[in-house]
Amino acid sequence: MKVTKSEFIISAVRPEQYPADGLPEVALAGRSNVGKSSLINRMINRKNLARTSSTPGKTQQLNYYLINDELYFVDFPGYGFAKVSKSLRQAFGEMIETYLTRREPLKLVLQMVDLRHPPSKDDLMMHEWLKHYNLPLCVVGTKADKIPRTRRDKHIKVIKQELGIGPGDLFIPFSSEEGLGREELWEVISRYTGV
């Protein structure tokens, strides 16, 4: 995929603010600091469009990025619930639930997990939750460059095992630093969005 244009559209706090043009959407979920912003920037080859290090308090915003005028990346708030209050957790849950169940243009969900560590409790919970919506789901293992090449397969195996990812499920090791996984992820995105 050759990205020639990418722009930030809106931090939507209410569904009425979501774009109405019907272009396909790819949602990105992951714990704060997992490398979500870096992945978006790498996918579109920009240094800084997606803001890195999102604020944990901002649990009610969906950040929309328009790519090549033909699809949206929809960045969920970073989860990592230890830091936020119960009411904010609940607000996050309700917003995401509404989005996942009612958003017709949503074609694919990406869940990012840090390849260096076994999935956290939050990762496991989020994975179960996402699976139950029966939307196409692809798990992306971030920061692959931080693991020596010889040990990557072992890390991938642990994550797949703990999340219950089988041969028929989508999993892509990724490095925003080196570009590993970029082409493969664009292929998956193209397949599910039709762009």
* Residues ≥6 apart with Cβ < 8 Å to 45: 3
Nearer to ligand GDP, 34 or 156 (CB): 34
38 part of the interface to ligand GDP, by CB under 6 A? yes
CA angle 117, 161, 25 (to 5 degrees): 80
Phi, psi of 6 (to 5 degrees): -150, 135
Nearer to ligand GDP, 32 or 195 (CB): 32
186 forms beta bridges with none
Among 12, 18, 37, 119, binds ligand GDP (CB under 6 A): 37
Nearer to ligand GDP, 142 or 193 (CB): 142
**DSSP reduced 3-state for 191:** helix
CB of 29 closer than 8 Å to CB of 112:
yes
143 part of the interface to ligand GDP, by CB under 6 A? yes
Count of residues that bind ligand GDP according to CB under 6 A: 19
> Can you give the binding site for ligand GDP, defined by CB under 6 A?
30, 32-38, 52-54, 78, 142-143, 145-146, 175-177
